[in-house]
Structure 1
Amino acid sequence: MTVDLLNPSDLPTPSTYSHIAIATGTKLVFIAGQEPEDLQGELVGPGDLAVQARLTFENLGRALAAAGARPDQVTRLGIYLVGYRRDYQPVIQEARYAVFGDHKPADVMIGVAALARPEQLIEVEATAVI
């Protein structure tokens, strides 16, 4: 499987994602929205975006591994944040970097009014090609 990440010269170059991900492979993997929950399904870090983001991305990494996929095979991320503010970006990027390193798949970061649980601040979904 190969993933080519592109930033066309006639678009601004983002620092944390790529405009285009072109994947060639034999299997698509769709990871449902991962949440900041421990193994017992309990929410971790109520009110603390950094704690929740870290666990959410760790859970995403575990889901990828269970599917036989690596983080560098991810082509797209959907990141949903309750009450999005621009100053959330460094917190999200730190948690993301811990799983993805320098791999920057196409992504979307969307502010939402609420998620499944009232105390939940983040949810992340992914698509990979392996």
Structure 2
Amino acid sequence: MPVNFSHPEGLLKQTDYSPVAVATGSRLIVLAGQAGVTADFEPAAPDLAGQVRAALHNIAVGVRGAGGAPADIARLTFYIVDWQPSMWEDVLAGIAHAQEVDGFPTPAPPVTIIGVQALFTPDFVVEIEAIAVTD
């Protein structure tokens, strides 16, 4: 596997995601931000957890389409409208679903969450970018 996760001594001990990913592959797959939408550009769910599930599924489709797999994902960046720490459980629920259904690694790759004012349309509450590395 070209991506290995670690928890170097001295960093906050995360249980939900790894703080460090070391990638040794030769191909970089960079995905544009994926929203929690259907292929017809309709919101896949009205809530954050549902849109995280759908956005991560879209990322899995994109990575597979580029010749990789969700296990090759080295980094995820979440853009969440009106972010508050109380939303973390909804994010975790979406990640857990992606791990179970789409084969995302456990623990999750390094995650960054950025709170934003708005996304492309008012119906979108999350957009997720991904970087994957393959051999």
Normalised by the length of structure 1, the TM-score is 0.91
Supply the RMSD in Å over aligned alpha carbons: 1.4
Show the 5 A alignment for 1:45-60.
45-46=45-46, 48-60=47-59
CA distance in 1, matches of 2:97, 2:69: 13
Q: Is the 8 A contact 2:18 2:107 kept in 1?
A: no
Q: For residues 38-97 of structure 1, give each alpha carbon's deviation from its aligned partner in whole angstroms, at most 9, with x where no partner exists.
A: 121122334x21221221111111111111111111111101110111121111112112
Show the 5 A alignment for 1:89-100.
89-99=88-98, 100=104
Deviates more, 1:97-106 or 1:20-29: 97-106
Q: Is the 8 A contact 1:76 1:107 kept in 2?
A: yes
Q: Is the 8 A contact 2:17 2:106 kept in 1?
A: no
Task: Tell me which residue corresponds to 2:126.
Answer: 122
Displaced runs of 4 or more, over 3 A: none
1:27 aligns with 2:21: no
Alpha-carbon distance change, 88 to 116 in structure 1, aligned in 2, over 3 angstroms = same
> Any unmatched runs of 5+ in structure 2?
99-103
Normalised by the length of structure 2, the TM-score is 0.88
Percent sequence identity is 33
